[in-house]
A = this chain, B = another copy of it.
Amino acid sequence: MVKVSIIGATGYAGVELVRLLALHSEVELMFLTSQTYSGQKIQDVYPHLRGFVDKELREQNIEEIAEGSDLVFLALPHGHAVAVAEKVLKMGKKVIDLGADLRFRDTKTYEAWYKVSHENPVLSRDAVYGLPEINRNRIKEAQAVGNPGCYPTSAVLALYPLIRQNIVDVKTIIIDSKSGVSGAGRGLVLGSLYPECAESVKAYNVGKHRHTPEIEQILSELAGTDVTVSFTPHLIPMTRGILSTVYAGLTCAAKDIDIEGLYRTCYRDEYFVRVQPKGVWPQTKWVTGTNFCDIGVDIDARTNRVVVTAVIDNLVKGAAGQAVQNMNLMFGIPEKTGLDLVPLYP
Tell me which of B19, B181, B203 contacts A344 (CB under 8 A).
B19
A233 to B237, CA, bound (A): 17
A residues 262-307 with Cβ under 8 Å of B? 271, 274, 276, 280-289, 292, 294, 296, 298, 300, 302-303, 305, 307
Copies, count: 4
Is the CB–CB distance between A230 and B247 below 8 Å? yes
How many chain A residues touch B (CB < 8 A): the figure is 83
Is the CB–CB distance between B289 and A230 below 8 Å? no
Is the CB–CB distance between A190 and B190 below 8 Å? no
- A311: chain B residues at CB < 8 Å are 201-202
Is the CB–CB distance between A346 and B201 below 8 Å? no
The answer to whether the Cβ of A238 comes within 8 Å of any Cβ in the partner chain is yes
- A49: chain B residues at CB < 8 Å are 342-343
Tell me which of B172, B284, B307, B345 contacts A201 (CB under 8 A).
B284
- A276: chain B residues at CB < 8 Å are 47
Expressed in whole angstroms, the minimum distance between the Cβ of A34 and any Cβ of chain B is 14
Is the CB–CB distance between B52 and A342 below 8 Å? yes
Is the CB–CB distance between A344 and B289 below 8 Å? yes
Is the CB–CB distance between A282 and B202 below 8 Å? yes
Is the CB–CB distance between A19 and B203 below 8 Å? no
- A178: chain B residues at CB < 8 Å are 178, 201, 234, 236
With A48-B285, A344-B289: A237-B236 Cβ-Cβ less than 8 Å: yes
A232 to B282, CA, bound (A): 14
With A48-B287, A207-B298: A189-B190 Cβ-Cβ less than 8 Å: no
Give 7 A-B contacts (CB < 8 Å), ordered by A residue: A178-B234, A182-B195, A194-B197, A199-B241, A199-B284, A232-B245, A237-B237
